[in-house]
Chains A and B, each alone.
Chain A
């Protein structure tokens, strides 16, 4: 019998709110966090909309000079999750505390800004903080430093599956006995002309510049690509026996995880969704939970023409036709490496509060979308167990099964 793992803390900063409560309330209200980009650089881009942070990160000025924005938001989310867990005063041995927080792209904005410095002022002016700011393990390392975590600090990276994979690796870390508590999640902040131009060149992003709030529309016939978002989500995972012994508030159980790879294409998802299907089946088997109990899915669905339909096909194969599906990306936009973590939080709270957050902008569902999607309005329902999917460029598939504790 493997070690049971529960969720005892949540933290987030997103385009919908500066913390979990405001983000969750905005989701239930069906609000969009997408808006027009007003900086001058945006004017020349084909895509001029994004899910920008609702609240600027609150990091001490001097510390902030040494941290990439993706690191700052990760630390903000981790502080909230840690405070929420009540572990600060619980006598946890730092050697039993781990961190697994990844990023899809890392400190790209720091790299680009320092390249500008190099070009304009020469090598001696390049900041000595550049490397720790741009290294992809930087966010995890800053969190580990702040919490004095000594069981290991890790930063898996698998593009848009990063947040979910980080949580899956954290589960593994506790089950294997390497830690009792792991702070896990994902972070991303690359709203900058270069990454935006690059995604736009791939024709992966929505160009609905005149209607920012309607641009992210998963499963809708009118969808034309994803909307880039920024922020971070972090959860605290803890051995269930330890959490119960200290009388901790428990949101849900992380029952199981599945990770597979497509072996199909560097960026296109397998149109038949086989890799995703296997990841979901693996997560269910790992959780020991029947398909019929998984009544809700927080889908990866990014609002791209191919991906959304491939996921529906995978859900049919792996679960059947009963789950109530939603894509909270319709409201947050796509937070890349943070997506799986923010959506895990939405899945956990859906179970905890018994309500599925809506998929906004689903006015005219794609003919191939033949599952029940919670369009427009939040849907109250009993949720014994729920699935969160994340897929990433590179053919990464991660599925997490959360269940009532």
Chain B
């Protein structure tokens, strides 16, 4: 998957779970500060992303995923 495809997939999840406008989902955005995703919704995003992208994202990894780009990099690497 390309980075853009992963961003688009995350945007779909974020819209469904937290009502985030897909146009706002770009790599430099912070989940909590820019996209207003609260901690419980972040849990939902992670679980949905695991399913969508066929990867495992351990809980102690989640705290390192501050921005959409961090998540894209992690997912991309885990898929490889």
Contacts and interface: CB of A to CB of B under 8 A. Distances in A.
Interface of A: 60-62, 65-66, 124-125, 127-129
16 contacts: A60-B19, A61-B19, A62-B17, A62-B18, A62-B19, A65-B17, A66-B40, A124-B47, A125-B47, A127-B44, A128-B40, A128-B41, A128-B43, A128-B44, A129-B40, A129-B44
Q: Which 7 pairs show the lowest CB-CB distances between chains A and B?
A: A62-B19, A128-B43, A128-B40, A129-B40, A124-B47, A128-B44, A62-B18
| Listed residue (A60, A61, A65, A128) with the most chain B CB atoms within 10 angstroms of its CB | A128
Interface string B33-48: 0000000110110010
A273 B14 CA distance: 56
Contacts of A61: 19
Contacts of A128: 40-41, 43-44
Given A60-B19, A62-B18, 9 more contacts: A61-B19, A62-B19, A65-B17, A66-B40, A124-B47, A125-B47, A127-B44, A128-B43, A129-B40
A69 to B, nearest CB: 19
Residues of B in contact with A, size category: under 10
A326 B43 CA distance: 50
Nearest to A63: B19
Contacts of A124: 47
Contacts of B18: 62
Contacts of A129: 40, 44
A128 B18 CA distance: 13
Nearest to B19: A62
Nearest to A127: B44
Nearest to B15: A62
Nearest to A126: B47
Nearest to A60: B19
Contacts of A66: 40
A223 B35 CA distance: 56
Contacts of A60: 19
Nearest to B43: A128
Interface string B1-27: 000000000000000011100000000
Nearest to A61: B19
